[in-house]
Amino acid sequence: MLPAVSSKGNKLAFITRFTNSDIWRRNLLQPESPAVEIIPSSRAQWDAQFSPDGKRIAFASVRSGLQGVWISSDDGTNLVQISDPNYVSGSPQWSPDGTRIAFDSHPAEHWEIFVADMAERKPKKLVTNISNVTRPSWSRDGKWIYFNSVEPGRSGVYRCPASGGDAVLISKGTVVINARESFDGKTVYFASNHDKSTLKQVALAAQPGTESTVDGMPRIRAAELWTLSRAGIYFVPDEAPRSLRYFDFASKQIRPIFEADKDFNSGLSVSPDGRWIVYSLDGNENSDIMIVDHFR
């Protein structure tokens, strides 16, 4: 917007506006204590995920100008991009042993899943028989990668071997997303629909199509605003976009955790010891002045 051409006519300047989102960390053992912003940037960042040892964080960011996958130390230092800087990428998920990260990327016509080894930091495509796949996650034993597909006629939640291979249908549906395996490896949870999502579950031993709604869980604000713990689910309810709550599997009771001062953005992750949670919040509207050289 507001374009301006230089007096010589060879350069074009214009303003771009965008809404920021910031990554925050809060102590779950003292939820009334102030949250701390980590990994600061003037660009949007979201989907932060603790590594299995709690010492690193993977997240999606537009800090380089194009959405990519980055990792940092748990305090936000030692930033490294692990996705190809030429392609839009996001939705990072650590393997259970912390040696790999799966993420989605858009290198050509469709979304694909890539896996980056932390030692080599060279992403490799996950080869499977289902196309247009996003939002990967790992099985607890690291042998499988779950994902959702919007391939026409084959949309749903699938999993395939972590080394690649034919995928197995877990649940069929036009908008099912964010599959997560339970800590005992027996159940898969996923969100049905994107906004105002219903959280569902299906036993891995059951046939596709036998999923059920998680009893006692209200609708969540968005498909990316929930995460599993061993005993329950942290989530943002649809009716309260600034409230983090906890659903207990055993009692079916819901308790409030804390209130944020802005709406939650995509992604929740709890540290392995249960002490910390990282999340993103909507930020401020920012603008940049862009210049095009050799303008004609």
Q: What integer best gives the mean pLDDT of the chain? A: 90
Q: What count of other Cβ atoms lies within 10 Å of the Cβ of residue 20?
A: 18
What does pTM read for this prediction?
Answer: 0.89
What is the rounded CA–CA span in Å between residue 66 and residue 85?
Answer: 7
Cβ contacts of 236-245, under 8 Å, gap ≥ 24: 236/264, 236/268, 238/196, 238/197, 244/268, 244/277, 244/279
- Sorted by where each starts, the structural domains of the chain and their CATH numbers stand as 20-217+270-287 (2.120.10.30)
What pLDDT is attached to residue 3?
Answer: 55
Q: Is 99 a residue whose pLDDT tops 50?
A: yes
What pLDDT is attached to residue 118?
Answer: 94
What is the rounded CA–CA span in Å between residue 196 and residue 219?
Answer: 6
Q: Is 209 a residue whose pLDDT tops 80?
A: no
Q: Which stretch, 5-14, 157-166, 173-182, 280-289, has highest mean pLDDT?
A: 157-166
Give the pLDDT mean for 54-60: 97
Could you read off the pLDDT of 167-194 as tens digits, one per residue?
A: 999 999 888 999 999 999 999 999 998 8
Per-residue confidence at 1, pLDDT binned at 50, 70, 90?
A: very low
Token pair 């940037």 is at which residue?
41
Q: Is 77 a residue whose pLDDT tops 50?
A: yes
Task: Give percent of the chain with pLDDT exceeding 70.
Answer: 89
Q: Is 219 a residue whose pLDDT tops 90?
A: yes
